[in-house]
Amino acid sequence: MIVSNTTPLSCLLKVGAADLLQRLYVTLAIPSEVAAELDQAGSIHQGWRRQLSFIRIAEPLAGDPVMALLSAEVDRGEAAAIALARRLNSPLLILDDMAGRRLAKRLGLTITGTVGVALAAAERGLIADPFALLDDLRTQGGLWLSDAFLENLRSAWQPPV
């Protein structure tokens, strides 16, 4: 089961593209801490549980020592997502925060982020232009991407044939 942190869900919800997650990954799990963060966004993500009804919300393990260790390095939502991905032996963790990504890599997890979701959707033919989605994510979704990063990505990305 694929695991996600808050930011990718939040950004995709804001631009009306959260359905890509279900179309790409079928089932997705989030820790209850991520669900709480989405709930706390109030009207910004009102109805997220209906829009993302395919997502399974996992409760934390009581006294999870891994969670305690991870929380010392990254915020609680990221720590919970990383801990859940480890616990479920997830083939993929969707995570944008750089510190969280470094930590997940150190733990041997396979990661992608919101950008990776956009590129995967284009590669599977679910969207025509990932850069149009990335532009929406930057301007409306709250995803920070530098101009230089996008320029390098455009140069390196090979559209599906």
Residue 107 falls within a domain, yes or no? yes
Q: For residues 90 and 21, give the distance between their C-alpha atoms in angstroms, rounded to a whole number.
A: 15
Total domains in the fold of the chain: 1
Q: What is the per-residue pLDDT for 44?
A: 78
For residue 75, the domain's CATH number is: 3.40.50.1010
What 3 state SS string does the chain have? CEEECHHHHHHHHHCCCCHHHHHHHCCEEEEHHHHHHHHHCHHHHCCHHHHCCCEEEECCCCCCHHHHHHHCCCCHHHHHHHHHHHHHCCCCEECCCHHHHHHHHHCCCCEECHHHHHHHHHHCCCCCCHHHHHHHHHHCCCCCCCHHHHHHHHHHCCCCC
Q: What is the per-residue pLDDT for 123?
A: 94
**Amino acid in the structure at residue 125:** G
Look up the pTM and report it.
Answer: 0.91
pLDDT tens readout for residues 94-138: 999 999 999 999 999 999 999 999 999 999 999 999 999 999 999
Residue 84 falls within a domain, yes or no? yes
Residue 145 falls within a domain, yes or no? no
Q: What is the per-residue pLDDT for 7?
A: 93
Spatial CA neighbour of 87 closest among 55, 61, 49, 116: 61
Residue 150 falls within a domain, yes or no? no
pLDDT tens readout for residues 50-88: 889 999 999 877 677 777 777 778 888 899 999 999 999
Residue 24 falls within a domain, yes or no? yes
Residue 129 falls within a domain, yes or no? no
Q: Which domain holds residue 47?
A: 2-114
Residue 106 falls within a domain, yes or no? yes
Residue 51 falls within a domain, yes or no? yes
pLDDT tens readout for residues 91-106: 999 999 999 999 999 9
Q: What is the per-residue pLDDT for 94?
A: 97
